[in-house]
Amino acid sequence: MNIIFLGAPGSGKGTQASLLSKNLDIESIATGDLLRKEVEKNSRIGNIAKEQMESGALVSDEVVIDIIKEKIITKNCEKGFILDGFPRNINQALKLEEMLHNCDKKINKVFNFEVEEDVLVKRIAGRYICKKCGAVYNRYFKPTNKDGKCDNCDSNEFETRSDDNELTVKNRLKVYKESSFPLIEYYKKKHLLVSIDALKISTLVFEDLKSNINN
């Protein structure tokens, strides 16, 4: 089962991708996470990507396509994969199709996570992450249960993504609308698109995904 998750930043795709990848025992590939790792490593790719990521712009197609190309041919992806954050524009979608065709694979489903824009801004600008275990919280919707301590691992050290500030968020949403919206029509025409009401709480969104996959 090869799946694409489409949705604006803050639509909850990342959370659902990690739940679903465990549930189906398939790989989850998040281009944003892979790029952030490159930036942390100070690698050549990281240095190219850093400035664009911090302003909320898209990193060049060549860079992300190379990253995906390497990943989908690995053994981990043999059983299937979830692409979270890729493709982000029509050119990337076309390149993906070509890549998959060359290794005899195809996309089975494309889930589009739908959430209203004012909720998205709060979801992203309020997001903070446990430094130790990576658990994700939100100061508006999902703060830690115990004041200032991670529910998972009790750590009191948290961080926020450098591109999760209100100014960058607005630009990321603008970029999403301009570049990624056409993908919805593109996959609709291919009869692969399934709309998901991602305003619901995470457990219900996950149920919707699973029942769709089982049908």
Task: Enumerate binding residues for ligand AMP (CB under 6 A).
Answer: 9, 31-32, 35, 52-53, 56-59, 64, 85-86, 88, 92, 163, 172
Decide whether 46 or 149 has the Cβ nearer to ligand AMP.
46
Spatial contact of 127 and 22, defined as CB atoms under 8 Å apart: no
Query: What separation in angstroms does the CA of 42 have from each of 32, 164, 165?
Result: 15, 20, 22
Specify whether 172 is catalytic: yes
Considering the candidates 69, 161, 200, 210, report the single residue annotated as catalytic.
161
Specify whether 36 is catalytic: no
With CB atoms as reference, the residue minimizing the distance to ligand AMP is: 32
Minimum Å gap between C-beta 65 and ligand AMP is 8
The dihedral over CA atoms of 191, 193, 197, 202, expressed in degrees to the nearest 10, equals 130
β-bridge partners, 142: 138
| Strands (DSSP E) found in 49-90 | 81-84
| Listed residue (141, 147, 132, 113) closest to 19, CA to CA | 113
Considering the candidates 50, 88, 95, 123, report the single residue annotated as catalytic.
88
Specify whether 13 is catalytic: yes
Which residues are annotated as catalytic?
Answer: 13, 88, 127, 161, 172
